[in-house]
Amino acid sequence: MGQMISISGRDGDFAGYLAAPASGRGPGNSPGVVVIQEIFGINAVVRAAADWLAGLGYFALAPDLFWRLQPGVELTDRTDAEWKQALDLMNRFDVDAGIEDIQATIDHLRVTAGVSGKIGAVGYCLGGQLAYLTAARTDADACVGYYGVNLPARLGEAGNIKKPLMLHIAAEDGFVPKAAQAQIIAGLQGNRLVTIHVYDGVDHAFARPGGKNFNQAAATLANRRTEDFFKQNLGMP
């Protein structure tokens, strides 16, 4: 289990959920990973993702990116009211400010006791888009995006990606039509630092445990690929 901490950003302090490895190879030897939320805030699913990474030996920190709109929001995908609130938060969310908060979170992790200095990022849904932008705009060492939304509108920044990026795409994603998927693949295929995996027969949020679109086989495969990607690019925790 992790704990809530405070992160200092350009516009003020905001909260984050930090999960630390139970044991490491000694001070300064465990990489860090920023866990980037979906549209539901730092809920149980996000905290579980951080705990999973901590179980692998990483320091995992999930920043509250909705803090300017509603600090501490924690929603699920189980009711229409929560979906309405989550979509409203997403529509009002300032992506540029969010990326600045992610950089602040990276900076916080780099100086956290026990962290090697290597920092990755992984995001889901809205966080998948932000993971892509984290690769393009921050000094993260490696990034992973799960079923990121609105990526075609961000392809103009592809040339700024200088560190490894992995994207997991749901072939039947209701929020990312096949035409958009084709744009993403075509727009990034020239960058050898980018790896794209497409998962046939699954919908958006196939890796969200307990969600209506959760697919165990696809989630297990994507998560294993993410584990291997971070081991290769961040070092063995």
pLDDT digits (tens, 9 = 90+) for 158-216: 999 999 999 999 999 999 999 999 999 999 998 999 999 999 999 999 999 999 999 99
Token pair in block for residue 27? 């001070």
pLDDT digits (tens, 9 = 90+) for 96-119: 999 999 999 999 999 999 999 899
pLDDT at 191: 95
Confidence category of residue 29, pLDDT binned at 50, 70, 90 = confident
Q: List active site positions.
A: 173, 204
| Average pLDDT rounded to a whole number, residues 15-26 | 81
Of residues 22 and 152, the one with the higher pLDDT is 152
Q: Are strands 194-199 and 165-170 parallel, antiparallel or unpaired?
A: parallel
Percent of the chain with pLDDT over 70: 97
Degrees to nearest 5, angle at CA 91 with 207 and 50: 35
Closest CA to 7 of 54, 71, 91: 71
Percent of the chain with pLDDT over 90: 94
pLDDT digits (tens, 9 = 90+) for 130-143: 999 999 999 999 99
pTM for the full predicted model: 0.97
**Residue 23 predicted with pLDDT over 80:** no
Mean pLDDT, rounded, of the chain: 96
| Domains located in the chain, CATH noted | 3-234 (3.40.50.1820)
User: Is 31 exposed, middle or buried (CB count within 10 Å of its CB: 0-12, 13-18, 19+)?
Assistant: buried
